[in-house]
């Protein structure tokens, strides 16, 4: 059940909201939990037990961790939690990949583990659970009041599929105290519609034009770059559209999630880019991985090492494939270079900023097209050749492609982002939102939307 499915928008969500606001406040968390479980049941019935088990085990570990006073048992409980969660993630997501990699070595050539189906949202709820346990260990958050509260938090249907990665400490108080606020609801509606329009009108359109080019064996220089930029637009609109919808739905239910995108393509440096793109994920990596490894406190060499490890694992999180690992490494190298040459902060002058922004966007697009979009190394290599003019200029250049790109770039660089517009209640904006809603649904129900790209992570 996608957020823009007819059944979600005209049956599930209205029913959930109606009951939610009709019942007394003390039952709302339980109702929210039930709604989330029903949502997950429709999305991925087979793996519902995995999600329920994760919620139960993490809640139990959290309770024990809170009660334990001596450091040794606390450490042991945290270790058990991390092993459990990483074990869960690895067994579903990475075991087949590790086995395939191991098979490349002659002694293990017969070693075989088939890749299992991936439970929807596992990468997200495992990270959420781990941050809960680490925060408890560091005494940065009080444990959940009840199993219901914790399960409701972990399985929250707005973010269970593709994030944002919400930490318990960020919304713990909201589980106790949520009041009806029309401002929040309106902001939620606005974000939801903007996210819907981003997904259906922009992301799917960009995908419609760039996918055929990516399927070509030798696209050539110009089509490859246009398609790569279109894919950058697609993934941004797709993922930020999803999180806008998720944050919007959470607001309708009274929860305030943190911002997840802040016009990332307007960033002037890669460092700044990562502070604006999938912000909750980047913060997670920074706080629980980079800083845990020592961050920049243990000397220069160690800092670069930590940076590379963080970005490599960040890449691997996106998918069990070498392409994603290399994509992570690519960004690790870029961040290291910026650090080494003192280029981490954005330049002051207007022109310098424009140039740096263009360069950052282009280099990000290069990595995204070559390592992220291409299915395997051979495809990546072919694509990189085209981008680097080693495969001709390309003969089939369609104006539709350029027009689609122009529209996407105009929206990306010419407007404020949805987060900045969520509280706008001016009449022209209302009319714009209504038009977006009608047009998006008309397109979604006539042609059908593509699946969300980030749902597969």
Q: How far is the CB of 7 from another protein (least distance, A)?
A: 4
Cβ contact 76:146 at 8 Å: no
Separation of alpha carbons 120 and 160, rounded Å: 8
Q: Which of 20, 41, 64, 304 binds another protein (CB under 8 A)?
A: 41
| Closer residue to another protein in complex, CB, 4/221 | 4
> Catalytic pick from 159, 278, 318, 331?
318
The two structure tokens encoding residue 66: 């809170």
Determine phi and psi for 108, rounding to 5 degrees: -110, 20
| Closer residue to another protein in complex, CB, 83/442 | 442
Q: Does 42 bind another protein (CB under 8 A)?
A: yes
Q: Does 189 bind another protein (CB under 8 A)?
A: yes
Q: Does the CA dihedral 165-250-3-265 come out positive or negative?
A: negative
Q: Which of 22, 105, 182, 301 binds another protein (CB under 8 A)?
A: 182
Active site includes 59?
Answer: no
Cβ contact 198:240 at 8 Å: yes
Q: Does 20 bind another protein (CB under 8 A)?
A: no
Cβ contact 300:361 at 8 Å: no
Q: Does the CA dihedral 130-136-140-146 come out positive or negative?
A: positive
Which string of x and - marks every residue 205-244 that binds another protein (by CB under 8 A)? --xx--xx--x-----------------------------
Residue partners of 249: CB distance under 8 A and separation at least 6: 3, 13, 157, 158, 188, 192
- Which of positions 267-306 make contact with another protein (CB under 8 A)? none
> What's the CA dihedral at 84, 90, 92, 96 to 10 degrees?
-150
Q: Does 446 bind another protein (CB under 8 A)?
A: yes
| Closer residue to another protein in complex, CB, 82/443 | 443
The closest of 184, 210, 330, 194 to 270, measured between CA atoms, is 330
Q: Which of 425, 428, 453, 457 binds another protein (CB under 8 A)?
A: 425
| Closer residue to another protein in complex, CB, 166/227 | 227
The two structure tokens encoding residue 139: 């005494």
Q: Which of 298, 345, 438, 456 binds another protein (CB under 8 A)?
A: 438
Separation of alpha carbons 102 and 72, rounded Å: 35
Q: Does 33 bind another protein (CB under 8 A)?
A: no
- Binding positions for another protein, rule: CB under 8 A: 1, 5-7, 9-11, 41-42, 45-46, 182-183, 185-186, 189-190, 193, 207-208, 211-212, 215, 425, 430, 433-434, 437-438, 441-442, 445-448
Residues recognised as catalytic: 318
């Amino acid at each position: 059940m996608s957020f823009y499915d007819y059944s979600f928008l005209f049956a599930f969500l209205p029913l959930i909201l109606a009951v939610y606001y009709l019942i007394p406040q003390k039952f709302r968390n339980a109702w929210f939990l039930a709604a989330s479980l029903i949502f997950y049941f429709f999305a991925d019935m087979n793996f519902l037990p995995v999600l329920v088990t994760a919620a139960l085990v993490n809640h139990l570990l959290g309770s024990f961790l809170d009660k334990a006073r001596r450091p040794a048992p606390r450490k042991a409980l945290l270790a058990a939690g991390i092993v459990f969660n990483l074990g869960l993630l690895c067994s579903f997501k990475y075991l087949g990949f590790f086995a395939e990699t191991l098979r490349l070595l002659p002694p293990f050539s017969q070693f075989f583990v088939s890749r299992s189906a991936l439970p929807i949202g596992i990468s997200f709820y495992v990270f959420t659970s781990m941050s809960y346990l680490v925060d408890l260990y560091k005494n940065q958050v009080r444990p959940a009041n009840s199993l219901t509260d914790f399960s409701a938090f972990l399985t929250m249907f707005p973010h269970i599929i593709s994030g944002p990665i919400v930490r318990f400490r960020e919304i713990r108080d909201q589980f106790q105290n949520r009041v009806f606020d029309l401002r929040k609801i309106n902001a939620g509606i606005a974000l939801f519609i903007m996210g819907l329009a981003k997904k259906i009108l922009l992301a799917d359109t960009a995908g419609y034009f760039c996918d055929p080019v990516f399927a070509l064996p030798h696209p050539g220089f110009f089509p490859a770059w246009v398609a790569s930029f279109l894919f950058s637009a697609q993934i941004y609109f797709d993922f930020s559209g999803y999180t806008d919808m998720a944050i919007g739905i959470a607001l309708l239910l009274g929860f305030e999630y943190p911002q997840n995108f802040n016009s990332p393509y307007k960033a002037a440096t890669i460092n700044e880019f990562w502070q604006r793109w999938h912000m909750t994920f980047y913060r997670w990596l920074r706080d629980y991985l980079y800083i845990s490894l020592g961050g920049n406190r243990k000397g220069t060499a160690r800092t670069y090492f930590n940076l590379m490890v963080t970005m490599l694992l960040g890449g691997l999180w996106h998918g069990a494939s070498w392409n994603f690992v290399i994509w992570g490494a690519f960004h690790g190298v870029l961040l290291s270079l910026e650090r080494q040459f003192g280029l981490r902060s954005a330049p002051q002058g207007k022109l310098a900023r424009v140039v740096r922004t263009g360069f950052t966007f282009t280099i990000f697009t290069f990595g995204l097209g070559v390592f992220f979009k291409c299915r395997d190394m051979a495809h990546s290599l072919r694509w990189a050749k085209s981008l680097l003019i080693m495969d001709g200029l390309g003969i089939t250049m369609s104006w539709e492609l350029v027009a689609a790109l122009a529209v996407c770039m105009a929206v990306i660089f010419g407007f404020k982002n949805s987060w900045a517009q969520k509280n706008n209640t001016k009449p022209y904006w209302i009319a714009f939102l209504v038009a977006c809603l009608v047009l998006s649904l008309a397109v979604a129900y006539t042609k059908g939307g593509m699946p969300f790209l980030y749902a597969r992570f």
